[in-house]
Amino acid sequence: MPAAWVHRLAVMTVAATVFLLFVGAVVTSKGVGLAVPDWPTTFGHNMFLFPWARMVGGVFYEHSHRLVASGVGFLTLLLAVLLWISEPRRWVQWLGTFALFLVIVQGVIGGLRVVFVEQWFAVVHAGLAQAFFGLIVALALFTSDRWRRESHSVTVTGAARVQRLCVLTTMLIYFQAIVGALVRHTGVAIEVHVLVAFLVVFHVFLVGRRIVSIDSPRGELRHPVVWLGSLLVLQLMLGVGSYLARFSTFAPEWSPAVMVALTTSHVVTGALMLAVTVALTLWSFRLLQPDERRVPTVVLSQRASA
């Protein structure tokens, strides 16, 4: 199978996962995560044969969440199989297999959340969802034609620092997603969520400054920085709105539709920020070669000439 089709399937899986995150966020924002009390069945029916006429109210959102999740699982299975068939890089094949394992575990934890009615399962479910999304974004990047063509091409002073900063920023955004899930599902740790938000803002600023300082930065580095900055501004506005809608004294006056729109958009925008930082981090390791790596070569050549 042509590599381009495998890449298209990976991109399709990324898009489906974004939609799944959106639907899951709507379910949480509406508080209908337990509208269907059984799992893996739906009111005793096979999940895929549940009557459409009974999909009303909270059942519509929760059952739709299950159906979309099943679609993402099927796409991940197909991607993993095609990677083993046509992908020559063994490590990419194993990444596809791990993505399949992760989506299966994610589905099981989502089911346990329903069976045991335990909030902590919901928090773990949300954290794994973000991890799976980041992995699928990485697979879409690794299977792209641009990634295959590019290699280390620019030796940059301080490139290792840029790479470490990108990794740290990605980890902070992922940690922020977990803390956000804790706030959404339990109502605690809002102070930690705000503190980490300040750290994320600071690190995004540092990442942007470092990459802009590189002479003629590649589009693969420059474009994600622009997107990351734009998403950060949007995320801060949504975060303030979500906080006011849930915790302020004026919260009862907000319409439910506005509250759902704010909190859902906040979750999805955070996931998009994670995707951008994952791509930025991977490109920084692909394109930037720290100048420190040249030192041993110079020393060896001097010794050889002597």
DSSP string across 60-122: HHHHHHHHHHHHHHHHHHHHHHHHHHH---HHHHHHHHHHHHHHHHHHHHHHHHHHHT-HHHH
**Long-range contact list for 97-104, CB < 8 A, 24+ apart?**
98/135, 99/132, 99/135, 99/136, 99/139, 100/76, 102/128, 102/131, 102/132, 102/135, 103/72, 103/73, 103/76, 103/132, 104/73
Q: CB–CB of 7/137 below 8 Å?
A: no
- Show the CA angle centred on residue 179, arms to residues 167 and 258, nearest 5°: 115
Whole-number Å distance between alpha carbons of 97 and 104: 11
Q: Give pLDDT, residue 293.
A: 47
Q: Give pLDDT, residue 188.
A: 85
Q: What is the DSSP letter of 45?
A: B
Q: CB–CB of 228/270 below 8 Å?
A: no
Q: What is the pLDDT along the chain (306 residues), one digit of tens a residue?
A: 678 899 999 999 999 999 999 999 999 989 898 999 999 999 999 999 999 889 999 999 999 999 999 999 999 999 999 999 999 999 999 999 999 999 999 999 999 999 898 888 999 999 999 999 999 999 999 999 989 887 656 667 778 888 999 999 999 999 999 999 999 888 888 999 999 999 999 999 999 998 888 765 677 888 999 999 999 999 999 999 888 877 776 666 677 888 899 999 999 999 999 999 999 999 999 988 876 544 444 443 444 444
pTM of the shown model: 0.90
What separation, in Å, do the N-terminal and C-terminal C-alpha atoms of the chain show?
53
DSSP string across 117-142: T-HHHHHHHHHHHHHHHHHHHHHHHH
Query: Coil, helix or strand for 288?
Result: strand
Residue 198: how many CB atoms within 10 A of its CB? 9
Task: Find tokens 């997603």 and name the residue.
Answer: 177
Pairing of strands 288-290, 154-156: parallel
Q: Give pLDDT, residue 252.
A: 62
